[in-house]
Chains A and B, each alone.
Chain A
Amino acid sequence: MTAITPPARKKIKAGSFSLNRFSTRTQALFHVILLLFSLLCIIPFIFVIIIAFSSEDSIRQIGYSFTPISWSTDAFAYTFKLGNALWRSYLNSFLITIVGTVLSVAMTVLYAYPLYRRDYKYRKFFNFLSFFTMIFGGGLVPTYVICKSVLGLSDNYAALIVPMLFSPFNVIIMRTFLQTTVPPELIEAATIDGSGEYSTLLRIVLPVVKPGIATIALLVSLAYWNEWFLSLLYLNKNMSIMPLQYLLMRMQRNADFLAKNSSMLGADASKAAAQLPSQSLKMALVVFIVIPIACAYPFFQRYVIAGLTIGSVKG
Chain B
Amino acid sequence: MTLTKAHAGSGLRRMRTSSASRKKAFWLTTMMLPGAVWLLLIRYLPMFGIVIAFKNYRAYRPNTFWNNIIQSEFVGLKNFEFLNSPDTGIMIRNTLGYNLLWIILGLVISVAFAIMMSELSSRFLAKSYQTMMFFPYFLSWVVASYFVLAFLDPTSGMIPFMQKATGQKITNFYHDTTWWPLILTICNLWKNLGYSSVLYLAAITGIDTTQYEAAAVDGASKWQQIWHVTLPGIRPMIVILLIMNIGKIFNADFGLFYNVPQNSGSLYPVTQVVDTYVYRAYANTHNLGMSSAAGFLQSAVGMLCIIGANALVRKIDPESSLF
- Segment touching B, from A62-70, A82-90, A94-102, A261-269: A62-70
Q: Are B146 and A40 in contact, CB atoms less than 8 angstroms apart?
A: no
Q: Of A45-53, A73-81, A208-216, which binds chain B?
A: A45-53
Q: Which one of B28, B202, B213 contacts A117 once the chains associate, using CB atoms below 8 Å?
A: B28
Q: Would A122 and B29 be within 8 Å (CB), given that A19-B221, A139-B50, A144-B282 are in contact?
A: yes
Tell which of A37, A51, A145, A286 touches B143, judged by Cβ atoms closer than 8 Å: A286
Q: Quick one: which of B105-148 are within 8 Å of A by CB?
A: 113, 116-117, 119-121, 125, 128-129, 131-136, 138-140, 142-147
The one of A33, A63, A137, A252 in contact with B158, judged by C-beta atoms closer than 8 angstroms, is A63
Contact: A139 with B295, CB < 8 Å?
yes
Check: B34 CB closer than 8 A to any chain A CB. Answer: yes
**A171 surroundings in chain B (CB, below 8 A):** 35
Given contacts A150-B45, A301-B131, A145 and B212 within 8 Å (CB-CB): no
Q: Please report which residues of chain B, range 212-235, place their CB below 8 angstroms from some CB of chain A when the two chains form the complex.
A: 212-213, 216-217, 219-222, 225
Q: Are B139 and A226 in contact (CB under 8 A)?
A: yes
Q: Are A138 and B43 in contact (CB under 8 A)?
A: yes
A197 touches B161 (CB 8 A): no
Assess the B202–A309 pair: CB atoms within 8 A: yes
Please tell me which one of the listed residues B25, B47, B146, B299 contacts residue A248 in the complex, with CB atoms under 8 A apart.
B146
Which single member of B129, B135, B142 contacts A228 (CB below 8 Å)? B142
A197-B24 contact in complex given A63-B161, A139-B295, C-beta closer than 8 Å: yes
Does B34 lie within 8 Å of A45, measured CB to CB? no
Q: In the complex the two chains form, is A226's CB within 8 Å of B140's CB?
A: yes
Query: Any chain A CB within 8 A of the CB of B291?
Result: yes
Decide yes or no whether B254 CB sits under 8 A from chain A.
yes
Q: Given known contacts A63-B156, A201-B31, is B291 in contact with A140 (CB within 8 Å)? A: yes
* Contacts known (A20-B212, A144-B282); A308 close to B195, Cβ less than 8 A: yes
Q: Please, how many angstroms separate the alpha-carbon atoms of A196 and B288 in the complex?
A: 49
**Within 8 Å of chain A (Cβ to Cβ): is B198?**
yes
- Interface of A, helix, strand, loop or mixed by DSSP: helix
Q: Residue among B121, B134, B142 with the most chain A CB within 10 A?
A: B142
> Do B139 and A151 have beta carbons less than 8 Å apart?
no
Q: How large is the interface on B (under 10, 10 to 19, 20 to 34, 35 or more residues)?
A: 35 or more
Q: Which residues of A contact B151 (CB under 8 A)?
A: 44, 47, 64
Partner of B133, one of A41, A253, A298: A41
- Interface status of B292 (Cβ within 8 A of chain A): yes
Q: Are B240 and A313 in contact (CB under 8 A)?
A: yes
CA distance in complex: A282, B262 (Å): 15
A30-B119, A107-B34, A133-B43 in contact; A279/B156 too (CB < 8 A)? yes
Contacts of B80 in A (CB 8 A): none
User: Any chain A CB within 8 A of the CB of B199?
Assistant: yes
- In contact, B119 and A22 (Cβ under 8 angstroms): yes
Contact A114 B142 (CB under 8 A): no
Q: Are A27 and B121 in contact (CB under 8 A)?
A: yes
Check if B76 is an interface residue, CB within 8 A of chain A. no
- Whether B46 is near chain A, meaning CB under 8 Å from some CB there, is yes
- Type the 1/0 row for B236-280, where 1 means its CB is closer than 8 Å to any CB of A: 010011001000000000110001001100000000000100110
Q: Which residue of B lies closest to A42 (CB)?
A: B132
Interface centre among B29, B64, B66, B143 (most CB of A within 10 A): B143
**Residue A31 lies at the interface, judged by CB distance under 8 Å to chain B:** yes
Closest to B295 in A: A139
Q: Of A31, A147, A197, which is within 8 A of B42 by CB?
A: A147
The verdict on B311 contacting chain A, using a C-beta distance below 8 Å, is no
Q: Is B303 an interface residue (CB 8 A)?
A: yes
B316 close to A (CB within 8 Å): no
**Identity of the chain A residue whose Cβ is nearest the Cβ of B147 in the assembled complex:** A44
Residues of B within 8 A of A27 (CB): 119-121
| Cβ contacts under 8 Å, B292 to chain A | 139, 141-142
A51–B120 alpha-carbon span in the complex (Å): 35
Q: Report the minimal beta-carbon distance from B14 to chain A, rounded to whole angstroms.
A: 16
Contacting residues, chain A, for B42 (C-beta < 8 A): 143, 146-147, 151, 162-163, 165-166
In the complex, whether A235 has a CB less than 8 A from a CB of chain B is no
Query: Which A residue's beta carbon lies closest to that of B27?
Result: A197
- Any chain A CB within 8 A of the CB of B52? yes
A144 to B109, CA, bound (A): 37
Contact A289 B143 (CB under 8 A): yes
Name B184-200 residues within 8 Å CB distance of A. Answer: 190, 193-195, 198-199
**CB closest residue in chain B, given A197:** B27
A289 to B240, CA, bound (A): 34
Partner of A142, one of B41, B46, B144: B46
Q: A297 and B135 in contact (CB under 8 A), knowing A48-B147, A120-B28, A309-B202?
A: yes
Known: A107-B34, A290-B139. A137 touches B46 (CB 8 A): yes
Chain A contacts for B104, CB-based, 8 A: none
Does B204 make an interface contact (CB < 8 A)? no
* A16: Cβ under 8 A from any B Cβ: yes
Q: Given A47-B150, A120-B25, are A129 and B39 neighbors across the interface (CB < 8 Å)?
A: yes
Give CA–CA (A126, B120) in the complex, Å.
45
Partner of A64 from B50, B157, B240, B298 at Cβ < 8 Å: B157
What are 11 contact pairs spanning A and B, CB under 8 A?
Answer: A12-B216, A20-B212, A22-B222, A64-B153, A64-B161, A122-B28, A136-B47, A138-B50, A145-B288, A226-B139, A297-B135
Question: 7 closest Cβ contacts across the A-B interface?
Answer: A139-B295, A142-B49, A138-B46, A63-B161, A111-B35, A226-B140, A44-B147
Contacts A30-B120, A249-B145, A289-B143 known; list 10 others, CB within 8 Å.
A34-B117, A64-B156, A114-B31, A117-B28, A137-B46, A140-B291, A165-B38, A197-B31, A294-B135, A305-B198
